[in-house]
Structure 1
Amino acid sequence: MIDEAAAKLTGEPIVIADISDLTGVPGFDPSPMPSGARAAAAYVNDNGGVGGRPIKITSCDSKTDPGASAACAQQAVAQNSLAVIGLDNFSGTGGDALFESNDIVTLNAPNQPTLIQSPNSFAIGPGGIGEFYGLGHHLGTTAQVKRVSLLMQDSPVGHTYAEQLTEAATAAGVETVNPVFFNPQITDFSAPVARATSTDPQAVFTLVNGSQIPLVWNLLQQQGIRSEQIYIHSVAMDATVFEAAGSVAVGANVVSEFTNPDDLSDPDVRIYREAMDKYGFGDISRTALASWGFANVMFLAETARTIGADKVDAATLHEYLTTTLGPGSTTTIPTFLGSPVGAAPPEHPGIHRPGISILRWDGTNFVTVEDFFSAPQLRPGRP
C-alpha cells in the first residue's frame, strides 16, 4: 500500500534521502525515523504528491561509522536528493561538506557542533542542544528544583549535553548539578546510580535507551527517587517501552521535540496517527523519531509546494530556506507536529526551531506538562 500512490503519479520523483545510524549503538533503534518518513511520503502521494510529483524516500544505514556515513552521503548526492534527513552522528566527517557543495540542505538531527554552527542546517527538531538547554531552563524555572543529577554516557556527546544542561540549569537558578558519566556498554548501573543519588537530587536526568530504561529507573526508585523526579531525552520516547516498564515508568518525564502523539485534539496529530495506522506503522507512532521522520517529509512537501512543483530542486530549496530564514528575519515557516521554524540565534546558526515541550507518562498515555518553549540561550536575535 505504501508504494501504490506513488505509482499512480507520473511526475518526476522528488527524492529525500534518510541517512540514520540504524546500527552501532546498543539498545538504540532509530528505524522509526525513516519509517515515519515513508508513511508521510505515502500520505502526500495519496493526496496528489507535490503537483503530481511523487515523494520517494531512500534509506541508508550510516552504522555509527564515519566511513559508512560518507558512503551514504555520496549515494544521496548521486540520487539528486532534494534534501537529507535522519539521525547521522558522523555526517561531519564527510557528508556535510559534500551536501553544502552540492546545494543540498541537511535536516539531520543537529547533535554535532558542526551542524549547530552550519548555515546549511535546517533541522526541524532542535536536537540535543535544544533539549538540554531547554530542560535545564525548565528545571530551574518551572520545576524550581535546586539539586539535579545527570546520568550521562561517557562519550563526547554525553559530555557536551552535560555542559549544556548545566549551563542552562545554573542560569535558571539550580544550585547544584551533579554529572555522573557511565560507559555506554555497561549492564550493571548500580555504581553510577549510587553516585547520582548521593547528592540527594530533586531531579535526575537519564541518558539511557530501550531496555536500559526500566533497569536504571528501578534502581533510582530503590534509592528513593520518585518517578516524577526522573527525566529522559526524546529519542528514548517510546510508548511500547514505557508500557513494558510498568509501574517504574508511570510519572516519568520526557523532553519532546514534537507535539504530544497522544493529543488527538490536535489536527496534525490526528492526520499523523491515521496515516501511521493506514500504512502499517501504527505500532511505532507513539515514538519521537517516527514523529520526526513524518514531520520532516511534511515540512519539505509543503515547502516544495510553496516553491512550485516545476521549480523545486535542491538548489531552489537551499535558496528559499536560506533567504526566508536568514539572520534577523522575522518570517517563520509552519512545522507539522511542531512549533514554527524561523531565524536562528546568532551563536547557533544551524538551530532554526529551538522549541521543546515536557511530557509525562501516565501509564497509558503521554500527558503534556509544559507546552512548547525555548531556552533563552537559543532564542533568535531580532533586528
Structure 2
Amino acid sequence: MAAVATLAASALLSSCGVLPGTAGSSRGPVVVMTWAPVDTKATNMPGMLAMAQVVEKYVNDQGGIDGRKLKVLTCNEHDDPVSVTSCAQQAADAGAVAVVGSYSEQGSAFTSALESSGIPYIGGYGITEDEFQSLMSYPINGGLPALLAGSGRQLADLCKKVTLVRPDSITGDQFPLFLNTGLKAGGLSPVRDIPTADDSSDYTAVAAQAVGDDKHSSCVSAVLGDHTSTFFDALRRTGDSQPKVQLSSVIGSVQQSVIDSTGGPDSPLEHTYITSWYPPASDPKWDEMKAAINKYAFGDDRIDIGDPGVQTTWIAYDVFTKVVRAMDPKTQLNATNVQRAMDRTTKLSTGGLTPDLGWTDDDAKSVPQHARMVNTQVTYQQIVNGRLVAARPGFVDLTSTLRLESDY
C-alpha cells in the first residue's frame, strides 16, 4: 500500500483542542471500524471483516501509520437497522476516526448515526443510495447503480429482450431502474422485472417464468446475492435440456468461488456475462492483496480473493492509509480532520484497481440522486472454461449513461 494521496490543499490546518473520544496528540492507536452482515438469511459478507483484520496486521508489520498502530474494530451488523446503529455507536465510543470498507443495506440507519457522530464512511460497498448522498460517505466505486447500468449497456448489444430476477425488497426495487438506464442507452426496451425472495432454497417456478419462450436472443439477469447460484441451478434444470437464453449477473452475486463450487467448466454459469467494478482476480494488480492474505490469513475460508467485498475492503483501507499519511503531521488525527482530508483529496492512485479517486467538487460525476459518486467505471467479464476473465480490456466509463434519467 505504498504511494501518497494528493491533497487539493498543501496541508490541513491543525485543530484546536481534542475531540472527545479521540487520541488527540497522543501516540495511541489509530482506531477504525469495519462492519458487515454475518450469519443472516440474506447476503452475508464475513470476508470483509476478515480482510480488515488482515489489513490491520499488514499495516502494523510495516510500521503502522506514521509510527502509530492501526486498531481495527469489527462489528456484525446483522442486516438490521438497530444493530448497525449499535455498531456506529461502538465506533464513536471507541474514538474511531473512520468506518472503512464496510457493507450494510441499512443505509438510512447507519448514515444518520455516522452523521450524528461525525465519523466518515470510507469505501462502503455501495449497496444503498444513502452512500451516494451522505456528506460523510466517500465511495470508491459506483455501487450497484454502476454495476446494473453497466450490465444493461452490455446486454443491449447482446440481447433483444432482458429479464431481471432480483430481490423483492426496498433495495431490490432500485435494480430495474438502473438496469433500464443501461438498456435505454443501448436502444433496448425496458427489462421484464421478476421480484422474488432472496433467501429461497427453491427457485424452480421463478426460473421457468424467467426462461419464458427460451430464445438465444433473450437474456436472463439474476442479482440475488448469495442465492444467485441457487437460482441459476434451478434454471439449468428447467425443461428437458439446457436453456438457450444467455445469462448475466453482477460481481458479488457471482464470483470465482461460486463458479468453482458449482462445477467449474461444467457450471451452469459457464458463458455468463458479469459486470464488476474491478479487474478480474487473476490480474497482477491484486498481487499485493494476495500476498497479504497468504501471510496473515492462509486457510481462512472466509476470505475469497475474488469476492468484491474483500476487494472493496482492501482498496478502502489503501485509500484511508494513503490519505492519513498525507496529512500534516501536526494535525490531530481525529474523525473531523480525516473527513477534511478526504474532502481535499484528488487524483489518488489505487494502483490501477480503480481509476484515480478524489472527493473534491471537481471529482463528482453529477449523477442524479447520487451526488457523492466519483467513480462511474466498470469492467466487463465473462465466465470461460470455468474462469472469470476480461470480456474487454480496461474500464468502461458509464458517466453519460448514469446521467440519463430512465423514463421507462
Counting only pairs closer than 5 Å after superposition, residues 260-339 of structure 1 correspond to structure 2 as 260-264=280-284, 266=285, 269-281=286-298, 283=301, 284-308=304-328, 310-311=330-331, 312-324=333-345, 331-335=346-350, 337-339=353-355
Counterpart CA distance in 1 for 2:178 and 2:75 is 30
| Residue identity (%) | 21
Q: How many residues align?
A: 357
8 Å Cα contact 1:133-1:167 kept in structure 2: yes
Q: List runs of 5+ in structure 2 lacking aligned partners.
A: 1-25
Q: Which moved more, 1:51-60 or 1:195-204?
A: 195-204
Cα 1:97–1:147 shift into 2, 3 Å: same
Aligned equivalents of 1:231, 1:358: Cα separation in 2: 11
Q: Deviations over 1:100-138 (max 9, x none)?
A: 243321133232232222222112132211211222222
Please provide the CA RMSD for this pair.
Answer: 2.5
Contact 1:249 1:363 in 2 (8 A): no
Mapped contact 1:214–1:249 kept (Cα < 8 A): no
The residue number in structure 1 matching 2:143 is 127
Q: Name the amino acid aligned to 2:187.
A: G
CA distance in 2, matches of 1:257, 1:356: 4
Q: Higher relative contact order at CA 8 Å, sep ≥6: structure 1 or structure 2?
A: 2
> 1:163 Cα deviation (Å)?
1.3
Q: How does 1:150-229 map to 2 (within 5 A)?
A: 150-198=164-212, 200=215, 202-210=218-226, 212-217=228-233, 219-220=235-236, 222=238, 224-225=242-243, 229=246
- The answer to whether the Cα contact below 8 Å between 2:277 and 2:354 also exists between their aligned partners in 1 is yes
Question: Is the 2:202–2:230 contact (alpha carbons within 8 Å) kept by the matching residues of 1?
Answer: no
Which of residues 111, 118, 123 is equivalent to 2:134?
118
The answer on whether the counterparts of 1:12 and 1:53 sit within 8 Å (CA) in structure 2 is yes
Query: 1:50-61, aligned counterparts within 5 Å?
Result: 50-61=65-76
Report the alpha carbon displacement of residue 274 of structure 1 after superposing the two structures with TM: 1.0
Task: Give 2:16's aligned residue.
Answer: none
- Offset of residue 63 of structure 1: 0.7
Contact residue 197 and residue 220 of structure 1 kept, 8 A = no
Q: Tell me if the contact between 1:70 and 1:91 (Cα under 8 Å) persists in the aligned partners.
A: no
Take 1:25 and 1:351, find their aligned partners in 2: how far apart are those partners?
Answer: 29
TM-score (norm 2): 0.80
* In 2, Cα distance between equivalents of 1:149 and 1:214: 17
CA contact (8 A) 2:153 2:186 kept: yes
Structure having the higher helix fraction is 1
Q: How far did 1:51 drift?
A: 1.1
- 8 Å Cα contact 1:344/1:352 also seen in 2: yes
What is the CA-CA distance between 1:225 and the residue it aligns to? Answer: 4.0
Matching residue within 339, 345, 352 for 2:365: 345
Structure number with greater Rg is 2
Is this contact kept in 2: 1:133–1:377, CA < 8 A? yes
Paired residue for 1:241? 258
Q: Distance in 1 between matches of 2:166 and 2:238?
A: 19
Query: What is the distance in 1 between the residues matched to 2:128 and 2:334?
Result: 26
* SS of alignment partner, residue 340 of structure 1: coil
> SS where residue 163 of structure 1 aligns?
helix
Conservation of the 8 A alpha-carbon contact between 2:125 and 2:309: no
Q: Report which stretch shifted further, 364-373 or 209-218.
A: 209-218
Partner deviation per Cα, 1:271-304 (whole Å, 9 max, x = no partner): 1111111111565222211111111111111111
